[in-house]
Amino acid sequence: MIATAAAAEPAFDASLDNPEAKAKKAEATVKIQVSGVQLVDPASVQEKPKEGQGHLHYRVDDGPVIATTAPKLSFHELSPGEHRFELTLAGNDHQPLLPSKTLRVTVP
């Protein structure tokens, strides 16, 4: 008899790809690693929550939330100054599955 593993707890981590070099070009690339959750388009499941499914929310400064399954997004033409990237692993109903993470980059 083969024992089945319990479902993994949702987890995610976020980082900026080469932040100093990209900031000099007024750009930022955010990479997110997700485990314990299958990334699905919430519209494809009528935005009904289901354990083990979710998607990502990216928000730059106080801008709109970008809801996507993409674990890597690049942002261009950032204005000079500090920028805040708020990243959330969300369920199909867009509710956070875990606390958000915040990354910051300063464009010269």
Domains of the chain (ranges, CATH numbers): 24-107 (2.60.40.10)
Average pLDDT over residues 40-54: 95
Chain mean position to CA 101: 9
| Amino acid occupying residue 104 | R
Whether 95 has a pLDDT exceeding 60, the answer reads: yes
- Summarised one tens digit per residue, pLDDT across range 1-34 is 454 455 679 999 999 999 999 999 999 999 999 9
**What pLDDT, on the 0 to 100 scale, is given for residue 38?**
96
Structure tokens at 89: 């692993």
Beta bridge pairs of residue 43: none
Looking up tokens 């900026």, which residue turns up?
A: 16
Structure tokens at 56: 């990502």
